[in-house]
Structure 1
Amino acid sequence: MTENASPNERAADDAQTFDRLFQQVYLTYHRRDGKRSALPGASRAVLTHLSMSGPLSVGELAEHLDRAQSVASDIVTGLERKGLLERRADPADRRRTFVWLTDAGLDVLRDDASVLALPLLASALERMPAVRRAELLATMRALVDASYLSEVPHTEGERP
């Protein structure tokens, strides 16, 4: 890189450097504890949708998942047996029941989404001065804040 490089050229070079460093970070700190989730896809879809929508009836959940109500009910019953969901009466209409995540369900969903070995990462962060950790996190937030998803090129069939 020359001193006369344009800001776009410097940004492109920095992007390549970041890409290499990101790969190294991922390879160093990715989870190695086996299969990330024992959740079948349909169960994950139910937990994820509920975490974003809030409590729903089984019928509303079935409609969102484009499944028969009996299928959605079976999924909910299985997750309820595992302690990941609970049914609650609608305070406005006692005949209606909502399905909602338990604390254990939220924990499973959070753990399922995590791709990094958090204890390994925490151990490395402990060895960094607090000021450097704060700088790292602030820089990561700034990078995320600087993104414009609508401007990110994507391939056909991939969601932006």
Structure 2
Amino acid sequence: MGTAEQDARGFAELFREAYLRFHRRDGKRAELSGASRAVLLHLSQAGPMTVGELALHLERAQSVVSEIVSQLEGKGVLEREPDPQDRRRTLVWLTPEGFAVLRADREVLSIDALAEAFGGLTAAERAGLLTTLSQLVRSNGATP
């Protein structure tokens, strides 16, 4: 153990190595285009809405957003449902598959590779690693 700065440098080097070793290499991030990702992310944060409302929020033409929604609906990640407040309106919402695709898209590290590596640690070592990393993240107070 050295000074806080020396330990920070050591951590930064280990973090770089861990990132390179456990980074996802399965190509799944390419599954979503930027526009599709924007639609899914916005819906996941704002909740169900009409295509027109979604176009307004995303500052895109309604026809463009409608086409994206139709493509995503065809892939089973979005569905259209009647608005319970006004049956004349149709809302767009994520399916369970849509939430899974979005979750996988956000994963930077390979869960499979990490799980394999974690399998070589004891339960106490895993708990200690997670506790310490959590404390480190919280100690700065800055949010990503």
Q: Same fold (TM over 0.5)?
A: yes
**Structure 1 position 144, deviation (Å):** 2.1
Q: Name the SS for the 1:149 alignment partner.
A: coil
Structure 2 distance, partners of 1:61, 1:89, is 16
Larger relative contact order (Cα-Cα within 8 Å, sequence gap ≥ 6): 2
Q: Which ranges in structure 1 are unaligned for 5 or more consecutive residues?
A: 3-9, 151-159
The answer as to 2:42 corresponding to 1:49 is yes
Provide the residue aligned with 1:16 in structure 2. 9
**Structure 1 position 142, deviation (Å):** 1.5
Structure 1 distance, partners of 2:108, 2:12, is 17
The structure with the largest alpha-carbon Rg is 1
After superposition, give the CA deviation of every residue in 1:71-106 in whole Å (9 maximum; x if it has no partner): 111111110011010011111111111111011111
Q: TM-score, normalised by structure 1?
A: 0.83
Q: TM-score, normalised by structure 2?
A: 0.91
- Map residues 9-158 of structure 1 onto 2, 5 A cutoff: 10-34=3-27, 36-149=29-142
Q: Name the SS for the 1:93 alignment partner.
A: coil
**Structure 1 position 147, deviation (Å):** 2.9
Q: Name the SS for the 2:53 alignment partner.
A: helix
- Identical counterparts, % of pairs: 56
Q: Which ranges in structure 2 are unaligned for 5 or more consecutive residues?
A: none
Q: Which amino acid aligns with 1:112?
A: D
